[in-house]
Structure 1
Amino acid sequence: MNINRKQAPEFKAIDHITLLQPEHTKLSNGCNIYCLNSGDAELVRIEWIFNNLRFNPSKPLLNVATNSMLSEGTANMTAAQIADTIDFYGAFLQAEYGYDTSEVTLFSLNKHLSNTLPIIKDILTNSIFPERELETYVRNQQQKLQVSLQKNDIIARRNFNKAIYGDTIYGFAAKADDFKKLNNDDLLAHYKQMYQPSNCTIIIAGKIEKETLDLLKSTFDKSWDNTGQTIDTTQPQIKSATEHFYFTEKPDALQSAIRMGRPLINRTHPDFPAVQVLNTVLGGYFGSRLMANIREDKGYTYGIGSGMSSMKNSGALFIATEVGAEVCKAAVAEIEKEINKLRTELIPEEELALVKNYLLGSLLGSLENVFSHADKFKTLYFAGLSYEYYDRYTEVVKNITPEDLIDLANKYLNFDNFYKVIVGKY
C-alpha cells in the first residue's frame, strides 16, 4: 500500500464512545463487587474502597492517618513482612486517601492471588497501628508539612479551600499540632467502624477468570464480618466564608501565587458537562485563553490553568498560577478581563470546534486499557450516576453553541463572586 505522505490523514469526528460495563456481585456480608473483565495479560487490579467517616474537627486527621497506616503492621505481620511478601510475589500495594473515600489497591498476577489476597484480608481485619510506626508517621508528616508551608502555591491552595469549604473535610488544612492528637486508641476505633464489608466496594479489573473471582469471594465473604458499629458517612454542611479576598504577604517573594474561583456544581448537576466546555475555553488546556494571554502574550508566568473539582457534597471552579511578584496585580486584571469577555462576547466557532475535538479526543484517549474503564465506572458509581452520563456528556460537547456558553458564563462566572487568594506580593 502506497501512502501519500504529503496528504494529511482524513479527519473523522468522534461520534460515540463505548465503555466497558462491569458485572455486579453482592456478598452475604454486604460488600459489593464489580468486575471489568478484559485484556490478555494475567494481571488484575483490585481496589477495596471505603466511604470516609464523618469529619470530626476535634480529631481531623483520623480518616487520612488510618488509611495511610493500614499496612504498617497487623496482629500477624510487621510492616516489613507485609512489604517483603508483596515484593516477593511481584505485586504492588498502595493505600490512597481521598476527600470522600479511602482505598487499598493491589496489582497482582492471577497466579499469585492465593498468596497476596490473604495479606489484604489481614490488613483490613487485623491492623494494629503500632506505636513506633505511628510515631514515625507523625514525625514524617510534620516534616513534610513544614517543607510544604514554604511554598506559596501550597499556602494559596490551603487558604482557598478553607474559604470556600469552611470547617469541612474539603476545607481542612492540617497544622503540625493536629498530628500530635493522633493516638493508637482513636485509630483502632476509627478502623473498626469504617473498614467493614458493608462499607466496602471492591472493583476488580483485568483478566478475570472464574477461579480468580471465586478466590476473591471466598476470601472476603463469610470470614469477613461486620463489627455491628454504626457507620456514619454523612458530612457537615458547607458554609463558605463571607470574605472574598485573602492576601498573605511575603516581602522577599520573587513570585506570587494566585488562586481564585468559586464553589460550583458537581458532576450530578445537569449543567456540569457544559460548564466543562466553558472551563476548557477559559483555562482547561494548553491552547486556552488564560494561557494565550498571560503566558504567551504577556509572559507573566510559565503556566496558568483553570479546573473543576467534583466531590460528593460539593464542587468548585478554580484558577491557579504563579507569576512574577511585580506583575501580580496586572495578572489578576488580565484574568478578570478574560472572564468578562466570556460573559460579553460569543466564542468564535473555530475556537469552539477546537475545544470540542480536544475534549472528545481526551475522553477517548483516556480509555487506553481496562483499568481506565474501571476508573470511569468508579467516577460514576460514587457520584450515583449511570453510564448515561457519558452519553449525555458526549452529546453536550458535540452540540453546545456559543450562545449556550455565553449564557453559562453569565450564570457561573461573575468575577465579583470569586474568592481571590494571593500569597507573595500584590
Structure 2
Amino acid sequence: MRRIAVLLVLMAATVLIPLPAEAAVNLAPSATPTASYTSPWEAVTAINTGGDPANSNIPGPNQGTRWGTWPNTGEQWVQLTWGSAQRLTSAQVYFLDDGGGVRLPASWKLQWWNGGAYTDIPGTYARALNAYNTVTFSEVSTTRLRVVLQSGPASVGLLEVKAYGEATQTPGWNPPGHLVTPLNEVWQHQESTYPNLYGFRNYGWDQVMANGGSINYCVRWDSAATVTAAQRDQIHTALARSFKKWTDLMTGHNAWPYQSVPVKVVGWAVRDRAQLQWSDTSVDIYVGNIRENAPQCAEPCGRFFNQNGSYPNCPGGASHHYDMSLWLTSGFGGGAGGDWGQRVGSEYYLSNLGTDNIHILLHEIGHSFGLDDFYDWTPSGQCCFLMKAGSASSITEFDAWMFRDWWRHLKSRYGL
C-alpha cells in the first residue's frame, strides 16, 4: 500500500518578457492538478482537460466534469504542477456556479511558485459567469501555478483552468541535481538485477509505441457481482485517468513523440454474460474463457500472447486487440502488475472510482512500464515515493524521473 502527496521540486522562477500572443499555447493539459480539498463526488482532474464548458451551471453530482469544495468554505485552491519549468503569460478560469451549494467566489487570484514560495500575480480578476475570466501578466517561468479562491456564503468550484505560455521541448536528460545520484543507483540496480532488461520487448513503452501513441485494454471481471453500464463507463474512466497520470509526465520531454496517450477498453471477460447489465456493443464480450482460474479475453487478441504485434486470429481484427488487462478480482488484497496489465481488488477499485489517485493501480501501472519495487532498499536521499510500497499515495517527483529514465535508456530502440 502507498501514501504521500505529489511535490515536484521546481527550478527557481524568474520574471521574463511577455511572449507574443500568437506563440502562446494552453499548457494546462500537461500539468498534474491538485487541490486543497475536493468533494468526494467531484474530480480535480476535470480542471485541465483542455475542453470548453457550455456554461457555469453544471449541476452536481456530475462526476468527472467539475471540481467543487462543498461543504468547505473559506480559502480554497487548485494547482497545476509541471515536471519542468513553463514560461507562462496568461491564464483563464471558468467558474462553477450551480445555483446551490457552489457559487462564484467572493474574490480570487493567481500565484506562481518562485522556487521557495508562492507569489501573487498582479492583474485584473473578473468574476464572470458562463465565460472564461482571463488574467494577462508579465511572463513567469515556473513549475506551479495556483488558483486561490475566497468563498462567499457558499462553497467554490471550477470547470476549467487554462495556462498559456510558450510550448517548449525539454531537451535531453535534465533531472534536478539532487536526484542524479539516486536515479543512477536505481538504474544500476535495474541492470544488475534483471539481465534481460534491454532484451525484453513488451514494456508499456513498447506497447504504446507499437500502437502509434495509444493503448488498448481488456477488463477481466473476476467477481460474481453484476456490473451496470454506468459502472462500466466509470471503470473505464478511472483507468484512463490513472494511465494518463503516468504518460502525461512525458509530454514535451526528451523527444517523446506524443502529446497524449488515449486509453481504449475494447473487451470484457466474464464467467456469466448475465453479470454484465448492458446490451450495447461498445466492447467485445468474452464468456467462459477461463485462464488462471479467472475470465480471460481471447488470447488471439492479446499482445501478451502475440508479442510480434500481429493478430491474425483475433475476432474483429487487429483493432480489437488488447495490450494489457485490468484484472479486477473479488477479495484480492494489494496489487500486481507487469507487461500483461494490472490486478487489483474489484471492491477496492469500485470504491475508488471517483478518487483522484487510485494509488494501488498507479503503482501497478508503474510496473507495467518497468519500474521496480523497493522492498529491501531505498535510493540515497529518498524516503517516500509511489513505487516504494506503503510510502506514497500518488506519483512523486522521484517516481516521475525514474519513469523518464526508462525512456532515456529505451528510446533508441524506436529510432529516437
Q: TM-score of the superposition, structure 2-length normalised?
A: 0.25
Larger strand proportion of the pair: 2
Of structures 1 and 2, the larger Rg is shown by 1
Q: Which has the higher helix share?
A: 1
Q: Which has the higher contact order (CA 8 A, sep 6+)?
A: 1
